[in-house]
A and B are shown apart, each in its own frame.
Chain A
């Protein structure tokens, strides 16, 4: 039976057919079951379940766009669109502020492009911006999409997102957590937002790249 693109309900038994157990499944009494409502995807011999919607669950080395929500003596608390807050310690930034001056560098409401550095056993999420490309984001606009759709928006090897970038001239930065940063002409940004919503809704359709391409050409 073809497992790919089958919709499963939470607790539904899945015959993984000799493949390995991936994300979104659990093992009980010799059988595999789904954790969530989602689509089955077989990739590299792993069976994963891609949730139809939901919050972002971080995994190590994901690059996310985070919003500062609180300032502590030596670290910031950030929102990464996940059920748990994330933390960013000053030692994991390129800056060296003296204590009590963290607000001068990143204040509440500021946005950073960061990497998930570590997830402790107690589900504490530690971020880092000590890597090329990671930074505080300034200017532009923020929109959110379903975290599970981010990979579809990027496309194979970035084909989809590069096509949108080239066609509209808008700078796009995607966070794995579903937060997207856009910078460009307001009309073009609006067009990109519409295309992102379109991809989000039609993400299960085949030939999506071509559909997006024709939309881009029409609006040009």
Chain B
């Protein structure tokens, strides 16, 4: 069997979602730009340097931050190092399989990484202990606990929330503790295209039938800091522009609501 029975979508469910999408209606009654309820619990793992538990509808993600001194990359001797990793464990969904990271988990980690790195969220230059020799390495680990769609947004919110309450554990290595230096707060917004409509925060059912996906990360100044297009479908130029405008607007609201910035 090439595809598991859980991966095959009911054909009529696809037709139904496409049919109601033409009127801008969604199966759960949300508006096109409405997120599911988001609950973030910062410092969920007390012994971690920083952490956050994110519930986005029924999707649940746990993000942990680990910091330790290490060698910088030779081309950036005056910068700390950021490493992001994501795990899609079988517990979260019957369609996830154990084993080495697959395409989806690598994409997830890289999109979250890109939004943090390219927005210059973390002031990496302040994470240098001895230039060229010793810097702080920031590990961001994303654990998906329950999968009901839109892992990108849930993981990115979790990573941002975890980094915002991270303390650099200097005292463990004979230095002083200090809060992780933060410059910006990027927020990502993912759109799924069903029929000819774009919907924010797709649920699993919506993701299964969508033809294309677009994630846009913006910072508090309204700059686009990262983008990712997924799946095989296409967007028109107008759709991309309207998605960018909406993502800046939604980003502002989420940044205020979740991170108080």
A residues whose Cβ falls under 8 Å from a Cβ of B = 67, 69-70, 79, 85, 107-111, 137-142, 186-187, 190, 193
Contact = CB atoms under 8 A, between A and B. Distances in A.
Interface residues of B, number: 18
B12 A138 contact: yes
B1 A186 contact: no
A187 B23 CA distance: 12
A111 B12 contact: yes
Interface string B131-155: 0000000000000000000000000
Given A69-B1, A141-B16, A186-B20, A109 B27 contact: no
Contacts of A190: 27-29
A217 B10 CA distance: 32
B249 interface: no
A107 B14 CA distance: 14
B25 interface: yes
B239 interface: no
Contacts of B15: 139
A27 to B, nearest CB: 33
B13 A141 contact: yes
B5 A186 contact: no
B8 interface: yes
The 3 closest A-B pairs by CB, nearest first: A109-B11, A79-B5, A141-B16
Contacts of A140: 12, 16
Nearest to A183: B16
Nearest to A70: B1
A14 B16 CA distance: 47
Given A69-B1, A85-B5, A142 B12 contact: yes
